[in-house]
Chains A and B, each alone.
Chain A
Amino acid sequence: MSNIDTTPVLKTEHLGITFGGLKAVEDFNISIAPNELVGLIGPNGAGKTTVFNLLTGVYQPTEGRIELDGQEMKDKKPHQMAKAGIARTFQNIRLFKNLTVLGNVKVAFNQNMKYGIFQAILRTGGYWREEEEIDQKARELLSVFNMQDAADKIACNLPYGQQRKLEIARALATNPKILLLDEPAAGMNPTETAELMEAIRIIRDKFNIAILLIEHDMSLVMSICERIVVIDYGMIIAKGTPKEVANNPKVIGAYLGE
């Protein structure tokens, strides 16, 4: 559970972005404690994915600031955000389709590897050591998702549910402090969804990370998130425990369309 005394792992202050006069996200304030599981919900087009894009450096905010572990993240590109400890998945799965499952995960280990071009060409001890190490780590990571047997399959040949899981595994391979999941259950059937939600909880505990989750399905978010942030038209309209949020008239209005 969240603890008020610790530094938040992720904190934004007045975060906002304007696209040609249109304020897509405005005055977005959020503070996520280490190991917290937070849901970000809102109607279609409310700006949820835009928030993710801001947090991962895909867009540069026009206002406000982002802090990761108390450090300000300014003018950071997506790969720098990933290195700093923010990992993400995508709404429409983005895998390296023609690489193997194992290869997909290995790519994400790249930023924590050290051997250079010449060491690679000369196949020095460092090359072998690191490659062996990540091979093992990648397989371990896959086994968390029960996918160790699929390691040598080509990613695009996986069933849909496993593709989603692989994307999460890949994100975890970057060794994040916080994981952003963009509609991880989209397109899944109820059984798969329930399985995934269980997996998310396990990941949070096993890897000891915070998770921010976008989800459409209210009931699902309610069941696993400790705290929920609701946005509409780019602004936060409610925050609180699932119960508080569910009874908030603004939220009900946003979803039912007043």
Chain B
Amino acid sequence: MKNKKEIIKSYLINFIAIALMFVILMIATDAGLINRYVRGILMTIFINIILAISLNLTTGFLGQIALGHAGFMSIGAYSAALFVKYAQDTMGITLLQENGLTSAGLGFFLLSLLIGGGIAAVFGLIVGIPALRLKGDYLAIITLGFGEIIRSLIEYFPFTGGAQGLKKIPKLASSLNVVYIIMIVCVVIMFAFVRSRHGRAITAIREDDIASEASGIPNTHYKVMAFTIAAFFAGVAGGIYAQYLGVLGASSFGFMKSIDILVMVVLGGMGSLTGSILSAVGLTALPEMLRSFSDYRMLIYSVVLIIVMIFKPSGLLGTYEFSLTRLIDRIVHPGKHKKASTMKKEGAEIE
């Protein structure tokens, strides 16, 4: 372990970077630089970051492919949406006023995300306990199956709005700043989790599940834990999504959505949270910037995926984590880190 001073230094650097981005975001909003269009892209980026890092926990760190992530997202989305709708329509609480959220609105927004995440986590647990007895291809297929079942049930039951979808959801995810902070909190939690004994255990299962069990790791327990936590954050992302759009349709949470998230995780690097963040930003922003490219988006994704799988199967960053502290260090003391950087290549962060 690094010494205390270094740890505090790196926490501080990251905190300053996060705060700086927040200030930039606030200034840009105040200056009116962020129009509806840019706001939409940023919002989608924040949501996708949460989705990608959460799926990375199961696919990257645990090493199990899950194809039903959109299912958990939809559960969070519908739970949160129904909750705030109930609060507004039935309980008659004023959540929104002309210039944005009321303080009750903010409270209910945060609460709705916890509820959405919580219910998604419960489903994650229910799905995970039986599903995680399987691995590899079979686990992929069974999670795909669960995702499709969830989608069909949402379309079937009337209280979710059925096939017509759920409309008039209070748009509580109106403030970019609030969503930014929520996203940061999710990322920080995920980092803290991954770099703990629990994260280490989960990574050990990916590396060799027989050896991990023999080293005293209760594999099933940790697999279910990873799956449940991933479902929780997918639910939170879904909650934000629902209250940003204001309308929900079950068809937007199909297999393709799960694949979309998977592409981000795989390209960014399976086992690299910073990789997921970078690819979530890139894969959300790029197609938007190149409008004419949007028809070819999935086609290009698929080709890139195949190429990456053939030449760099662990994704672009692999398990490498980008570190701001290391970067600054290298700029300040050039040369000093040459040797360390080659040694620290992969996995060094999860020791």
Contacts and interface: CB of A to CB of B under 8 A. Distances in A.
Q: In the complex, A touching B, CB below 8 Å?
A: yes
A176 to B, nearest CB: 10
A108 B347 contact: no
Interface in A84-131: 87-88, 90, 94-100, 102-103, 106-111, 113, 115, 117, 120-123, 127, 130-131
B204 A99 contact: yes
A98 B313 CA distance: 14
Contacts of A106: 197, 200, 351
B89 interface: no
Contacts of A127: 196
Interface residues of A, number: 44
Given A120-B198, A123-B192, A98 B346 contact: yes
B196 A99 contact: no
Nearest to A98: B347
Nearest to A83: B216
Interface stretch (B80-88, B169-177, B206-214): B206-214
Given A94-B208, A99-B207, A152-B348, A110 B215 contact: yes
Contacts, number: 124
A120 B343 contact: no
Contacts of A100: 347-348, 350-351
Interface string B299-323: 0000000000000000000010000
A109 B200 CA distance: 11
A170 interface: yes
Contacts of B133: none
Interface string B221-236: 0000100010000000
A164 B346 CA distance: 21
Nearest to A100: B351
Nearest to B11: A123
Nearest to A101: B351
Contacts of B347: 98-100, 103, 154
B203 A96 contact: yes
Nearest to B344: A152
B211 A154 contact: no
B208 A79 contact: no
A56 interface: yes
Contact of B219 (A79, A98, A120, A173): A79
A110 B201 contact: yes
A87 B215 CA distance: 7
B12 interface: no
Contact of B196 (A77, A108, A120): A120
B216 A108 contact: yes
A96 B208 contact: yes
A78 B220 CA distance: 12
B203 A88 contact: no
A94 B1 contact: no
B351 A152 contact: yes
Contacts of B215: 79, 82, 87, 107-108, 110, 170-171, 173-174
A88 B210 CA distance: 11
Interface in A41-92: 56, 58, 77-79, 82-83, 87-88, 90
B216 A99 contact: no
Contacts of A140: none
A98 to B, nearest CB: 5
The 6 closest A-B pairs by CB, nearest first: A120-B196, A111-B216, A96-B207, A82-B216, A94-B211, A103-B351
8 contacts: A79-B219, A82-B215, A94-B214, A96-B212, A100-B348, A108-B216, A120-B198, A152-B344
